[in-house]
């Protein structure tokens, strides 16, 4: 049975395949730690799109950012989230571009886990080919590869 995280205080085991926390969600109170299994337990969304960083159409899948925030009990309480990569590259995404379907926190690319060398293990991505609001150049700037932390204030 799926183990749905319901509070930002939920803690999941470390992902031994990566040897580190897979994703840390920081909010008021204790951090929520998500491993690959916890992310896979959330409702999944698939996107097939082209990007500046991949050749041709690429299939991405994983939970929507909204579903991840909702699992931690935060989806309706935010105005913006800070997304931070393994390299400490950071961007802020406001709630106007977060909906129940997109962007997604992709943990699979073409059906396989995303290696760090391939911009993984997590990649925040929009369906650039399908949705007019995501096809704007400004939305390419909202893509973050190698996501490791999400901070909600």
Segment 33-78, tens digit of pLDDT: 888 888 999 999 999 988 888 888 999 999 999 999 988 888 877 8
Residue 15: per-residue pLDDT: 35
Residue 108: per-residue pLDDT: 95
Q: What is the dihedral of CA 126, 101, 78, 26, to 10 degrees?
A: -70
Distance CA 114, CA 121 (A): 5
- Average pLDDT on 78-89 reads 91
* pTM across the whole model: 0.80
Give φ, ψ of 59 to 5 degrees: -95, 120
The token pair that represents 148 in the structure block: 């490791």
Residue 92: per-residue pLDDT: 92
- Average pLDDT on 3-14 reads 37
């Amino acid at each position: 049975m799926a183990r749905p995280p319901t509070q930002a205080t939920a803690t999941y085991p470390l992902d031994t395949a990566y040897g580190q926390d897979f994703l840390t969600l920081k909010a008021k109170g204790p951090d929520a730690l998500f491993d690959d299994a916890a992310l896979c337990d959330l409702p999944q969304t698939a996107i097939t799109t082209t990007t500046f960083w991949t050749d041709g159409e690429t299939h991405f899948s994983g939970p929507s950012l909204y579903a991840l925030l909702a699992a931690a009990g935060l989806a309706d309480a935010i105005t913006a989230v800070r997304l931070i990569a393994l390299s400490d590259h950071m961007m802020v995404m406001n709630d106007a571009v977060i909906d129940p379907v997109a962007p997604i926190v992709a943990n699979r690319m073409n059906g396989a886990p995303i290696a760090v060398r391939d911009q993984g293990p997590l990649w925040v991505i929009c369906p650039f080919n399908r949705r007019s609001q995501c096809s704007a150049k400004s939305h390419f700037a909202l893509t973050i590869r190698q996501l490791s932390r999400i901070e909600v204030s």
